Amino acid sequence: MNSDPGDEVEGRHASEPSWAGETERLDPDHRSTQPFRFVPGSVLANRYRIVSLLGRGGMGEVYRADDLELGQPVALKFMPEIPSKSERRLKRALLNEVRVARQVSHSNVCRVYDIGESEGRSFVSMEYVDGEDLSSLLQRIGRLPQEKALQVAHQLCRGLAAVHAKGILFRDLKPSNVMIDGHGRVRITDFGVAALAREVRAGAPLAGTPGYMAPEQLASGETTAKSDLYSLGLVLYELFTGEKPFQARSIEDLKRAQREPPRPSALVQHLDGAVEEAILRCLEFDPSRRPESAQAVAAMLPGAGSLAATLGAGETPLPSMVADAGETGRLEPALGIACLISILLGLAGVLFLSGKVFLAHLVPLELPPEALSWRARDVLQTFGYDELPASRASGFGVNRESLELGASRDSSAARPGTWETLRPSPLFFWYRQSSQRMVPANGEKVTLDDPPLLAGISTVRLDPSGRLVGFLSTQQVTEGTETLSGPPDWRPLFEASGLEWSRFTPVEPAGRPLVFSDARAAWEGRDSDRVEVPLRVEAGAYQGRFVYFRMGPPEEETAPLGPQRPRTGINVALTIYYGLFFLGLAFALLLVFRNFRRGRVDRQGALRLFCFMLPLSFLGWALRADYSSLGEGVLVVRALAESLFWSGLVWLLYAAIEPHVRRLWPDVLISWSRLLAGRLTDPLVGRDVLIG
């Protein structure tokens, strides 16, 4: 049986009454021969006083009423009189309409307040719109002038975008469901068949008006946001031409006609080409060829774009609106190749210049890192530390004091060509081993200072030539280890460091010892490689074994190899740093709270950023971590906690700052919004990634 495409349907049996769709708005001069259910002046639910009947249709009746408690006009929609067996189903439909519609709050969408009941009859209270629906307006005056039609079209796009932003499919967009109020503002009305996108299942019964359904809806019942965009194209077609694009007598005729929609310019002369392109893009038979969103449709229309209009109205644009703003176009191959070549040239320049600026290249390594590790272990064995270590670590460090002191004494020392002659060397190799497993406090990698100075750890510093420049050990003397009762022979320390014993004179040790020792000594003299630079050497021993050794300038006090006690200036700086951090965190929390209250937070974008940062942060830890120090799974749990913290902090800052940037400078977020939306192949995203 063929059905009229103009009939409203909502998945049901033929024997059940039609309840979906908009009621028919009454003409002011129209006098119905059927009696009104409620006469003007009637008070319902001790709150609403009936003023007049606004419309009557398959969904029942809509009355204008006054809310006696709030003193505001409202519209009340009543269910039709139906058999008792269908009453429960229709009441569920009203509950669903209210549940879905209350999620949308936008100036171009009619607000739905609540559901009520009077004398056993359910009704929905909603915003009263004093105006005329678009269908009756077009029947009365024909098409709208292009300038006015553009204003209506942009508002209609913004309203539909707000509906889609809440994950809702309208499913019945048509002129009779679009109101134009007394101020010329568009209001989308009637959420009778609207549903959350996640609740719409494939193969569900048809819902809406066939004449305004997309081809995929008529063919299989498939409904997506692209289906609403097809309906939007049909409404825009009528808006600009005053005619329906398809004049079909049956559903089958409609399906055939949808493959080749007539061009609007065939009906209206001098129609703007951008308008026709936007309409025809919405009416594409293939959903994938339609615009990405309602904002994209608004962006295609001439005049004030959706983004500009939203900003002009003092509102914060939606993230999807920002993503659809601006140019779409394509990335010119020449520009893409030029950006790629510039990146490659930049990387090559970094590699070339690194040899001229990196200290590791300016101070040549006479021994590779593996040989330096063996040299450090050999030094420890020479000093009597020949126990098998449980864990070990090594790396390179920079002695900034040596650089600064050398430059202050001799300007020639500031030239890179002379750095390899400084003693101690500005570049040093460190090696640490421990009789127990070394667990870093930072949860990642063992460094020169992490873990801090603990029992059982020995640290050796070597210059690039393998000469000893520092030594520190807290490894206890184990039972059976040979110890000396007399004063130790300090000359092995000088031999390991490449210093001539005869050039140094014993002096009184200064300052506190680096670690506990029962014998201490100090010397001052000159380096054999560069006799004009004086050095001070200090050493300590415990039970005949060396426990620390250090060389440096004579006027500089002995400093430990491990972490030093923070100075007053550092304490003040740390206090200011953490104070500003927590103050900024509190301010960010306040901004997030305000943004959430005003509905400005890009929740989807913030969640995607968090989900990207979390595995990236954990992966970064996994690549940096010293697996020889893992031991138990505590470090992994701590790393996961730190990843959650930093990812959560990124989420917090994004939710606090992004809405304000989107409100004030949305243009700078266009490519970023497209990237977060997953549009990785977008030319603008590719361009900015290559450039930035």
Q: Which residues contact 344 (CB under 8 A, 6 or more apart)?
A: none
Q: Which of 27, 66, 172, 253 is catalytic?
A: 172
Give the number of other CB atoms < 10 A from CB of residue 512: 8
Q: What's the rounded Cα separation, in Å, for the pair 13 and 560?
A: 87
- Please tell me whether residue 635 adopts helix, strand or coil conformation: helix
Q: What's the rounded Cα separation, in Å, for the pair 647 and 593?
A: 18
What is the helix (H) or strand (E) element at residue 606, kind and residue range? helix 603-624
The pair phi, psi for residue 187, each rounded to 5°, is -135, 125
Q: What's the rounded Cα separation, in Å, for the pair 288 and 285?
A: 9
Nearest Cα to 158, choosing from 178, 183, 131? 178
Residue 172 a catalytic site member: yes
Peptide bond before residue 389 is cis, with ω within 30 degrees of 0? no
Q: What's the rounded Cα separation, in Å, for the pair 108 and 154?
A: 10
Side-chain-side CA neighbours of 692 within 13 Å: the count stands at 9
CA-CA distances (angstroms) from residue 600 to 201, 521, 595, 641, 674?
Answer: 30, 69, 5, 29, 18
Which DSSP string do the residues of 503-572 spell out, in sequence order? GEEEE---S--SS--SEEEEEEEE-SSSTTSEEEEEEEEETTEEEEEEEE-TTSPP--SSPPPPPHHHHH
Q: What's the rounded Cα separation, in Å, for the pair 302 and 273?
A: 9
Report whether 262 contacts 280 (CB < 8 A): no
User: Which residues are part of the catalytic machinery?
Assistant: 172
